[in-house]
Amino acid sequence: MLPRKVILWIRGRAPQPRSCLEEATPRRSRFLPMSKEATPAAEEQPLVAPTAPAAEKKSEWLKYGSLGFLILQNSSHVVLLRYSRIVGGDCSKYVTSVAVLFAELLKLVFCLVVLTGQNGPVGLFTRLSEDIWQRKVDTLKVAVPAVCFTVQNNLQFVAASHLGAALLQLLYQTKTLSTAILGVIILRKWLRCNQWVALCVLVVGVVVAQSSQGGSSVNKGSITIGVAAALGVSMCSGFASVYLEKILKGDKTSIWVRNVQLCLFSIPLQFLAIYQRDWEKVQANGWLFGFCWSTWAVVCMFAFGGLLVAVVIRFADNNLKNLAMALAIILSCLVSVPLFDFKPNGAFAGGGALVIVSIFLYAWQPKPPPPYLPVSG
């Protein structure tokens, strides 16, 4: 019989019995990885064939749908505005200040309906109380851009009464110049060299396109008044944009509440403008004198156009926005030929081309240089 120490030594070196789980699982090699067929987890995970995700298709539809909407909105706004002023008969004799007032009222009602759908009837008053009444200082800050937008809307009717749709569309692009210059002065922004060049090209294009009209009047209207009104629209738009960016930077108030705040100031201001300038016309002919389908189309465009653009523009990148502005200029010119008997000449075409080039040049961003990787010696 072997000694006890020898028996224990033999048992210690002998292979230990494997459990049931170890017998079910193959032993892994020290040098080769375990195959996928031998891995129990791999058998439980089904293989999914790579398919085109539905989210990408949806984003593509939203992307190009937003492009089409922006082109339609940018071009139809100017065309409808011009058409409503020269359509003839009583339809072109409506009081423009009343049209601006109705646009602000429709915008207020639309925003309140959206907020009611989001928060409910009871939650609407709570939301307005928290965002407007309890934040009086922030609400008062919106008074300045409200004045700018009110003046801007009234000046658009003045410009459309004296300028053609094609030239008016080009002059509206000067809001890029006013916004950039005011951003440098007020916000201390820094512009790249290509942006300064783009602004110069924009000015040259607008001057060339405007000079193509030869200083004559359009539909018996003074082109000087029309150009001054269009430039005033661009200045008001640029200042309001820069002011909102400076005062309300980082504020997370929704677009619907923000427009309710704007309407609280713009509606009384517009009532005051009607009383001082057009009250006799309103008393003599009524509030809705001259309102036909073209007038209501303009009112709806003023009321809903900006709101819908703010919603849709989230799905469009900078390239699409610039392309939409360029195509809107071309589309406005093409529509003006049969609708307004517009006859563009070489100077206007050259000025328009310069304006389109300036749009893309201003948004162009050079690619950053590749990161420097030090080489260890």
**55-81: per-residue pLDDT in tens?**
666 667 777 777 788 888 888 889 999
Indicate the residue type of 201. Answer: V
**CA 185 to CA 258: how far, in whole Å?**
25
**CA 201 to CA 357: how far, in whole Å?**
8
Res. 5: pLDDT tops 70 = no
Residue 149 CA neighbour count, 13 Å, CB half: 25
Tell me the CA distances in angstroms from 216 to 81, 88, 209, 223, 226, one per residue in order.
21, 21, 13, 7, 12
Res. 312: pLDDT tops 80 = no
Res. 268: pLDDT tops 90 = yes
Contact 300, 81 (CB under 8 A): no
pTM of the predicted model as reported, rounded to 2 decimal places: 0.77
Indicate the residue type of 325. Answer: M
**CA 267 to CA 245: how far, in whole Å?**
23
In sign, the C-alpha dihedral spanning 219, 221, 223, 229 is negative
Res. 45: pLDDT tops 80 = no
**126-180: per-residue pLDDT in tens?**
888 888 888 888 888 899 999 999 999 999 999 999 988 888 999 998 998 999 9
Mean pLDDT of 303-310: 81
**CA 85 to CA 107: how far, in whole Å?**
22
pLDDT over 90 percentage in the chain: 34
Could you state, in order of their start, the residue ranges of all structural domains in the chain? 78-86+95-362
Res. 210: pLDDT tops 90 = no
Query: What is the per-residue DSSP string for 237-296?
Result: HHHHHHHHHHHSTT----HHHHHHHHHHHHHHHHHHHIIIIIHHHHHHH-TTTT--HHHH
Give me the chain's average pLDDT, please.
80
